[in-house]
């Protein structure tokens, strides 16, 4: 079994070196490590190439986005069976890769695996345990902010893996076209996980595959950049993927969630960015509806089974 680790870097500073140092300490070494740099200008690549003998650094001449960068890297790892996606601000514990490799043997029918992500600032708090998708289109890392000794303790199937620390069968990643490059960044992993579900592929959460995660190190937590892409792409993910009659059944709830987010951000004095996100999402609906036709034509599982894998609507006034 050959695993290639993909790290997409953009102005991650010293975090990239720390991430690579943690990869170098793995009890099972990856076959290849590929850092695809999105034209960073902060010196984050200086001196990193000697950290791992299997490390290859690819420098882009401009920022192609997180989604496309991962696709490029996955194409380059032709000799690998699995790809391990890792954010540069995610620091895997020593047995992370070994634990995920064991999981592929234990759960051969699954095509992706989610890690347990702990907060780098406080390792007693969960940052994510796979992603949950609510039927109204909201997305949230499972158990985020909850105590790690109480939640996320058992291996279980989850809706999709977080792209910040995930293991995906390379053949499946390529067969599904990888991440949607229109997304640029944010929610591309959820969109991909949704498309996997529609094809009958499943994701298993492995609690002993642990990484510590800073979060939004490159884009800035709560920045206009992150708000724009997350809220634009949330609409796209629903439009493209919600199967069959459920698209129409839950559409009023999805509209309500989007309207509530607009009101919330306007009240916070951030109306410009949220309105641009939702306006641009609507402008691109013809493209997304065209993609929806293709996505739904490839669906090979019962729509009701997809819905059962989602989270129910709770606290509709909250954005998570």
* Domain ranges within the chain, ordered by starting residue: 3-213, 224-308
Residue 153 near residue 210 (C-beta atoms within 8 A):
no
Q: With helix as H, strand as E and coil as C, how does 201-252 read?
A: CCEEEEEEEEEEECCCCCCCCCCHHHHHHHHHHHHHHHHHHCCCCHHHHHHH
How do beta strands 3-9 and 82-86 pair?
parallel
- CA–CA gap between residue 109 and residue 89 (Å, rounded): 30
Sign of CA pseudo-dihedral 308, 314, 316, 320: negative
pLDDT score for 239? 98
pLDDT, one tens digit per residue, over 171-192 is 999 999 999 999 999 999 999 9
Residue 26 near residue 98 (C-beta atoms within 8 A):
yes
Looking up tokens 């634009």 gives 232
pLDDT score for 314? 61
Q: With helix as H, strand as E and coil as C, how does the chain read?
A: CCEEEEEEECCCCHHHHHHHHHHHCCCCCCCEEEEEECCCCCCCCCCCCCCCCCEEEEECCCCCCHHHHHHHHHHHCCCCCEEEEECCCEEECCCHHHHHHHHHHHCCCCCEEEEEEEECCCCCEEEECCEEEECCCCEEECCCCCECCCCCCCCEEECECCCCEEEEEHHHHHHCCCCCHHHCCCCHHHHHHHHHHHCCCCEEEEEEEEEEECCCCCCCCCCHHHHHHHHHHHHHHHHHHCCCCHHHHHHHHHHHHHHHHHHHHHHCCCHHHHHHHHHHHHHCHHHHHHHHHHHHHCCCCCHHHHHHCCECCCCCCCCC
- Residue whose C-alpha is closest to residue 93's, from 114, 118, 113, 112: 118
- CA–CA gap between residue 263 and residue 275 (Å, rounded): 10
Instruction: For helices 285-297 and 188-198, give the axis angle rounded to 10 degrees.
Output: 30
pLDDT score for 265? 96
215 sits in the region (left: phi over 0; alpha: psi -120 to 50; else beta) called left
What's the length of the chain? 320
Structure tokens at 133: 């998708």
- CA–CA gap between residue 268 and residue 264 (Å, rounded): 6
Scored b (16 or more CB within 10 A) or e, 61-74 reads eebbbbbbbbbbbb
pLDDT score for 216? 61
pLDDT score for 286? 95
**Residue numbers in the chain where pLDDT is lower than 70:** 216-221, 314-320
- pTM equals 0.93
pLDDT score for 260? 96
If one looks up domain 3-213 in CATH, what number appears? 3.90.550.60
């Amino acid at each position: 079994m050959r695993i290639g680790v993909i790290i997409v870097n953009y102005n991650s500073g010293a975090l990239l070196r720390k991430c690579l140092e943690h990869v170098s300490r793995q009890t099972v070494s990856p076959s290849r490590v590929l850092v695809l740099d999105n034209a960073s200008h902060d010196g984050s690549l200086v001196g990193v190439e000697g950290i791992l003998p299997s490390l290859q650094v690819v420098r882009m001449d401009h920022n192609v986005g997180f989604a496309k960068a991962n696709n490029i890297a996955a194409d380059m790892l032709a000799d690998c069976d699995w790809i391990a996606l890792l954010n540069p601000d995610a620091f895997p514990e020593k047995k992370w890769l070994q634990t995920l490799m064991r999981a592929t043997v234990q759960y051969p029918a699954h095509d992706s695996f989610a890690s347990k992500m702990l907060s780098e600032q406080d390792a007693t708090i969960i940052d994510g345990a796979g992603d949950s998708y609510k039927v109204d289109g909201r997305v949230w890392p499972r158990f985020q902010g909850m105590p790690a000794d109480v939640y996320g303790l058992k291996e279980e199937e989850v809706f999709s893996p977080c792209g910040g620390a995930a293991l995906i069968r390379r053949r499946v990643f390529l067969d599904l076209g990888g991440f949607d490059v229109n997304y640029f960044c944010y929610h591309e992993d959820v969109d991909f996980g949704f498309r996997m579900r529609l094809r009958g592929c499943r994701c298993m959460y492995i609690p002993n595959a642990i990484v510590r995660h800073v979060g939004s190190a490159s884009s800035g937590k709560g920045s206009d950049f992150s708000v724009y892409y997350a809220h634009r792409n949330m609409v796209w993910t629903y439009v493209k993927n919600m199967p069959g009659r459920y698209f129409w059944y839950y559409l009023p709830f999805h509209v309500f969630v989007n309207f509530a987010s607009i009101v919330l951000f306007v009240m916070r004095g951030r109306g410009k960015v949220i309105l641009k996100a939702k306006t641009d999402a609507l402008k691109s609906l013809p493209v997304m509806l065209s993609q929806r036709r293709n996505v739904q034509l490839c669906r090979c599982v019962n729509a009701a089974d997809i819905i059962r894998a989602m989270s129910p609507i709770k606290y509709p006034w909250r954005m998570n």
